Amino acid sequence: EHYSKKRRPTCSAVQVVAPRTDDAFNFSKARPAEHIGDIEVCEGGVGPGSITTVLANISPLAAGHVLLVPSCEQLLPQVLTEEHFLTGLRLLAKSARHDFRLVFNSLMAFATVNHFHWHGLYLSQCGLADGRLPVEKVERSVVAGAITEGRVSIELLVESQWYVRGFVVSAGCRAGTPGDHPPADLQALASLAHRV
């Protein structure tokens, strides 16, 4: 009931990729009270998605459910590009909480606004006490690559353990990255994942 009263009308798009229209709602039209703040994703605020606007979600699924809009003023359509994917990975890396997840939904997959945005959720606030989505616990089989230094991997979900076919794209660190737990190669991950 709460959700149905607050949700904006669904986009009338009949395709997954559609141009943005000037008269439709976009997040630059959000009320000032919905603006939580801005996150500098790239040092110096330079580059695609370098400043990401954080907005209160007027139809939250759980406490802490926010919208993250990279380069809000550019009014980019709701299409997942390599730059958006990389911005999302950088946003995740900035979080101090391991239960923070970003969710993307395209037009024709219940996106109600054709202006690029991520949904930010804290899984512990969604009733997932272990801080993981159920799909994250499903057994996988590697079909290409490996999660080792300098490599990217594609794994299929074991179908007998999940409701639909699916895959996971993971990356090892860049070759030669020092440290006991070096960070994943985000650029390689974004480059492959947005094309899949």
DSSP string, 117-169: -EEEEEGGGGT-TTS--GGGGS-EEEEEE-SSTT-EEEEEE-GGGSSS--EEE
Give the separation between CA 92 and CA 136, rounded to whole angstroms: 16
Q: Is position 84 annotated as part of the catalytic site? A: no
Q: Which of 2, 117, 119, 181 is catalytic?
A: 117
DSSP sequence for 17-85: S----TTS--GGGS-GGGEEEEEE-SGGG-STT-EEEEEE-SS-SSTT-EEEEETGGG---S---HHHH
DSSP code of 14? S
Residues involved in catalysis: 117
